[in-house]
């Protein structure tokens, strides 16, 4: 087990390898969408997003001499249960081919849904129409279904908000 952890830690220090991870997860997610494996596509898309953010933050940290790269967990969590339009849109922007064009035409009229960042939200699966959501003005990454949910979540969110 220690060997596996050492290899994984080595990958996290090499930007080129992390970029490979992004490519692999994007490719797998595209294939999952084409095969109709929605749940697996959501998970692979969220991993692609994670490593994409991690790469961007590692590069930023090396330029600015910061120490800890930060990844936006709200976006990753949302992708894990995202609607097909969100998943296909995410992937379509990251591939050079047009293999998702037909699928995008099928889903482009689907209402984009977002996930309220308040874990105690009373909505089913914490989901609300994306265009009706409120975004935290402090960090710009946490989205809420209502100002009330944002206020309820503030005691927990304030610690990650001040990035």
| Full domain range(s) for residue 103 | 1-110
Q: What pTM, to 2 d.p., does this model score? A: 0.75
3-state secondary structure of 15: helix
Instruction: Say whether both 1 and 75 belong to one domain.
Output: yes
What is the spatial distance between Cα 52 and Cα 71, in angstroms, rounded to a whole number? 9
**Total number of domains constituting the chain:** 2
Instruction: Say whether both 135 and 64 belong to one domain.
Output: no
Instruction: Say whether both 8 and 51 belong to one domain.
Output: yes
User: Helices (H), strands (E): how many in the chain?
Assistant: 7, 4
Instruction: Say whether both 105 and 125 belong to one domain.
Output: no
- Among candidate residues 54, 61, 94, 60, the one with its CA nearest the CA of residue 75: 54
Tell me what percent of the residues of the chain surpass a pLDDT of 90.
45
Higher pLDDT, 40 or 62: 40
pLDDT at position 25: 96
Average pLDDT, the chain: 86
Instruction: Say whether both 23 and 101 belong to one domain.
Output: yes
47: its two tokens: 């991993």
């Amino acid at each position: 087990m220690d060997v596996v952890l050492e290899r994984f830690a080595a990958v996290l220090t090499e930007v080129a390898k992390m970029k490979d991870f992004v490519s692999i997860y994007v490719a797998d997610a595209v294939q999952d969408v084409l095969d109709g494996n929605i749940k697996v596509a959501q998970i692979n898309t969220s991993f692609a997003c994670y490593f994409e953010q991690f790469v961007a933050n590692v590069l930023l940290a090396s330029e600015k001499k910061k120490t800890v790269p930060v990844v936006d967990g709200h976006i990753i969590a949302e992708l894990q249960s995202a609607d097909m339009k969100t998943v296909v849109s995410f992937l379509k922007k990251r591939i050079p081919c047009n293999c998702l064009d037909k699928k995008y035409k099928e889903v482009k009229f689907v209402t984009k849904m977002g996930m309220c960042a308040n874990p105690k939200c009373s909505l089913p699966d914490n989901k609300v129409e994306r265009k009706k959501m409120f975004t935290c003005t402090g960090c710009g990454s946490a989205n809420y279904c209502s100002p009330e949910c944002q206020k309820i979540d503030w005691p927990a969110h304030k610690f990650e908000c001040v990035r």
